[in-house]
Each structure stands twice: as C-alpha cells, then as structure tokens.
Amino acid sequence: MAALPPCADEPLDTADFERAAEHFNTCRARGVQGSNTDFLICAVAERRKLPILTNDADFSRVAAILPVTLHGRQGR
C-alpha cells in the first residue's frame, strides 16, 4: 500500500477547541467516550466540511452521534 503524500497542517481556532468540548459533552451524555484529540479532529473536520480518513473503530461510535463524515474502513 502506498503512503499518503504529506499535507499542510490545518490551522486551529479557539472555536475548534470549544466545539471539541461540546462534542465531548454530547458523546459523554450518550455513553460514548473518546479522547480529546479525537474530538478536536471531529470539530475541525465538521467546521471545514472535511471527511475523516480513519480505520479507528472509536470514530464509528462518535460519528453515529456527531455531524461528521467518515472515509475509510471501520471496525478493525
């Protein structure tokens, strides 16, 4: 499998961190846990309307609750 080419870092805003905290609270209230980093990724992807490329099963649980789009194999 070929490696993905490098891409530019996405700048983060205060709003991204605030939205990540909202995502944490929303998921926690529904019994779904995740890392602060996972929720920050979700916040940035949501605000910029970008899909999340992952094969991490944690994102499948989070994506069932949050307004994010996943791209990649799930449940591994």
Q: Which residue has the tokens 């944490």?
A: 24
Query: Cβ(36)–Cβ(24) under 8 Å?
Result: yes
pLDDT at 72: 66
Query: Cβ(47)–Cβ(15) under 8 Å?
Result: yes
Give the range among 5-9, 14-18, 20-24, 51-55 with minimum mean pLDDT: 5-9
Query: Cβ(48)–Cβ(67) under 8 Å?
Result: no
pLDDT at 22 over 90: yes
Average pLDDT, the chain: 91
Q: Which residue has the tokens 């890392």?
A: 35
CA separation for the pair 54, 22 (Å, rounded): 22
- Provide mean pLDDT across the span 38-61: 94
Task: Enter the DSSP assignment of 32.
Answer: -
- Provide mean pLDDT across the span 61-75: 83
Which architecture does CATH list for 14-71?
3-Layer(aba) Sandwich (3.40)
